[in-house]
Chains A and B, each alone.
Chain A
Amino acid sequence: EIVLTQSPATLSLSPGERATLSCTASQSVGSYLAWYQQKPGQAPRLLIYDASNRATGIPARFSGSGSGTDFTLTISSLEPEDFAVYYCQQRSDPLTFGGGTKVEI
């Protein structure tokens, strides 16, 4: 099983600042990594797939990068609605998620 480790666990920032979230895999996943956003009381939402492709309707301020074992989700300028928990996920069997990064004000 591939273990995904996300850091930091919590990121305290202000609106307008840049957010950089990290996801490290225990072994190479190639470019097969996704990022999801989850707000309290809501289901997760797909943001990024295949490391760097934005899902339908996702604003350009969200970008993903990386390959192999090290991946980054960047939010270029935080909007109030971006404060949430973010999860990475790899697609090899069994599918696994990281533990999440909470982006808070």
Chain B
Amino acid sequence: EVQLLESGGGLVQPGGSLRLSCAASGFTFNNYAMSWVRQAPGKGLEWVSSISGGSTSTSYADSVKGRFTVSRDNSKNRLYLQMNSLRAEDAAIYYCAKGKYQLPKAYYFDYWGQGTLATVSS
């Protein structure tokens, strides 16, 4: 059974940093691209970042480029999102999502974690 479990959310002041983590199990982790998708309170879904299975390729939404860094540790089956220079508009539930295909790009998301909440406020 595929499981994705996010952690690392919390309250941070504007300009601060958070590091999100996602523990994956139930599939061959290094074969799949992984992504972060966020959802601001009461709003829709926004793709944030993706990383290929071997970490050779990463991509970011323009809204987070230069501030967020996605990475993974395939030996630990973990996905990470380092979030720096946080803004109020970054406040959201952050979901870890698995790419549907064994391809470098995510394309679609067939499994999602339950999310971790990042709150940015002074």
Contacts and interface: CB of A to CB of B under 8 A. Distances in A.
Partners in one complex: yes
A34 B112 contact: no
Nearest to B96: A43
Given A45-B112, A46-B100, A97 B44 contact: yes
Interface stretch (B20-28, B77-85, B101-109): B101-109
B95 interface: yes
Nearest to B100: A49
Interface residues of A, number: 23
A45 B35 CA distance: 15
A40 to B, nearest CB: 11
A85 B110 CA distance: 17
Contacts of B61: 94
B113 A43 contact: yes
Contact of B44 (A43, A46, A91, A100): A100
A43 B115 contact: yes
A44 B108 contact: no
Contacts of A97: 44-47
Nearest to A56: B110
Contact of A46 (B47, B50, B110, B115): B110
A87 B45 CA distance: 8
Interface in A35-92: 36, 38, 42-46, 49, 55-56, 87, 89, 91
A58 to B, nearest CB: 11
Contacts of A56: 110
Contacts of A43: 95, 112-115
Contacts of B1: none
Interface of A: 32, 34, 36, 38, 42-46, 49, 55-56, 87, 89, 91, 93-100
15 contacts: A36-B45, A42-B114, A43-B114, A44-B37, A44-B95, A49-B100, A56-B110, A87-B44, A89-B108, A93-B105, A94-B47, A94-B59, A95-B35, A96-B47, A97-B44
